[in-house]
Chains A and B, each alone.
Chain A
């Protein structure tokens, strides 16, 4: 069987190169600081500047009501009638379900599993807006970490041209290493027990495949709107 053959080949090969490789592995510590840039004064400022430099939008609001107001403004501007969203409890933004109901914005049925997958995808396709929460925000790169799973569909940050993400300043960390360490300490060995997918999102979908010219929205959302609630900072 190929498994045994490959593993056996590897062991034979490693008999001659393992010591060299192990020596190289000891050439440096495998644990570096969980961030890679010089410190910034304020994580929210750094996150905002980084994401804006990638053509992402960041709205800094003081509380949930402010966030709902901002999302309302975006929905109005885009003329959305249907959104692909996480379960409202997973987003956890007070007043969001009421806003959508008041605006007559429908929540698309996001379950595509089982039969009729293709048909349900076609029904989701016209939606113009995605709304999701996040697991963490990374200041050094302006990235969002999304932990998908039940009530947190991946398509709610992917399928529509505009993605709105709700981020709280208490979720901000400095570097990617911090975000991964946080996930580890929070979930231990169960990071992938209830979900099959973690995704880092850093700005809008982009490509430079034609003449190295930057072009946004090739497959994923062409606009990303992060509503950053800075309540925790005020309480500190």
Chain B
């Protein structure tokens, strides 16, 4: 939330000048990219598996009304309760009131982007409830009072020294640079939270319509504990995260794990259908499924419906040269990277500057290349840019520049004169072939990078000269 108080440009600027962020980002994204490439490359038929994954997701979305109703009916027939939430407010209210009605004091949470999207923790804390994030990365950023910077690795922007300092401050343990020691510190601290919790809140990776089950994928075991130990389990699911049949998981779990972390399968995959049955010694007494719309049903009917195929693997973040340079926080929304630049303007349209995020892309296509369901992200980013211009949201400088560009390109004399002026100017302010600072209104360009000085001659002049010499030599 702190990230939203300053402008998008300032956040990008801050990120570009943050050396430790740069190190953390390149370390993480390189590792993710390498792991993913290995795991995807090992498949017998990678293309077929991804085609199938896309077909499964598209098929599910094409029947979303029917499948969602089927999922809800099956959950209810297994003894669970379903909350249909049109927006964040309805979801927050339902969960807070449930907690109040059941005398809940303490809540453990496992990672859920949907809950981040609706700022659930804040609402629960306002209601006087104690909420603890239990995924290690989420726990770290909760202690730091920050938001996740990556879908899969929420705390990749933190160094071990910063984590040690946080644990020292909040848990009173000695400083250490040993990561295994820090992990054990978190295990010990969080274990007691689990055992004392009255309610566990989780996200959902896939809802399985035919079984009335939710699937939760993780590596740490915190989601298993959150959904097994407390007497109440609340699962929050974006309504688009559905598959028709349990058998579809044979494809979806494979592409998710391989695309996200390069694992063949994540360490733990829980398939949960309703509360504990009679005779089950553990598991929750109550199971609640919150189906969160929050704009998704509208997106489904528009030209960005394809974005709803996303399975939140994070591969496009890692592959994106812009994400690699600025990290997740700079995007300002809950979802970052290329898919975040698409989703944020759609899911969080009220976020100031959400319309600018589609600009944070070089349109290189790396995101689409790695997407396990082959979402055409660059196309959507281009269309979103056009939408923003049509809505009159383009920056005044950009508008003026575009008008100038049109005029210049339509008028050869202006084009030549402009080129001469630019080359002269570039020689005046450049040093050793670099320009450190362009004058306004172009100064934004050189804020985080140098600009090369222009060549002394234009291509047109060079060509003329070359032709002249050729003719002379021929004579």
Contact in complex: A32, B271 (CB < 8 Å): no
B275 beta carbon closer than 8 Å to chain A:
yes
B147 to chain A, nearest CB (A): 15
Contact in complex: B54, A208 (CB < 8 Å): no
A176 beta carbon closer than 8 Å to chain B:
yes
A170 beta carbon closer than 8 Å to chain B:
no
Contact in complex: A21, B58 (CB < 8 Å): yes
Contact in complex: A155, B228 (CB < 8 Å): yes
B266 beta carbon closer than 8 Å to chain A:
yes
Contact in complex: A212, B55 (CB < 8 Å): no
Q: How far is B291's CA from A34's CA once the two chains are assembled, in angstroms?
A: 30
By the criterion of a CB under 8 Å from any partner CB, how many residues of chain B are at the interface? 106
Most chain B CB neighbours (cut-off 10 Å) among A6, A118, A151: A6
Q: A218-B136, A219-B221 are in contact. Are A7 and B281 (CB under 8 A)?
A: no
Within 8 A of B (CB), among A16-54: 16-18, 20-22, 24-34, 36-38, 50
B63 to chain A, nearest CB (A): 8
A184 beta carbon closer than 8 Å to chain B:
yes
B78 to chain A, nearest CB (A): 6
Q: How far is B218's CA from A220's CA once the two chains are assembled, in angstroms?
A: 11
* Chain A contact patch, size range: 35 or more
A25 touches which of B62, B69, B86, B302 (Cβ 8 Å): B62
Contact in complex: A9, B84 (CB < 8 Å): no
A181 beta carbon closer than 8 Å to chain B:
yes
Within 8 A of B (CB), among A145-203: 148-151, 153-155, 158, 175-177, 180-181, 183-184, 191-203
Contact in complex: A196, B281 (CB < 8 Å): no
Contact in complex: A180, B85 (CB < 8 Å): no
Contact in complex: A36, B282 (CB < 8 Å): no
Which residues from chain A sit less than 8 Å from chain B, CB to CB?
A: 1-3, 5-7, 9-18, 20-22, 24-34, 36-38, 50, 110-113, 117-118, 121-122, 125, 138, 140-143, 148-151, 153-155, 158, 175-177, 180-181, 183-184, 191-213, 215, 217-221
16 residue pairs of the A-B complex, CB under 8 angstroms, read: A9-B293, A13-B299, A14-B300, A17-B62, A22-B58, A29-B55, A110-B281, A113-B276, A158-B228, A196-B275, A196-B280, A207-B219, A209-B135, A209-B153, A210-B160, A210-B182
> 8 nearest interchain CB pairs?
A220-B221, A13-B301, A150-B279, A25-B59, A177-B250, A24-B58, A209-B137, A21-B62
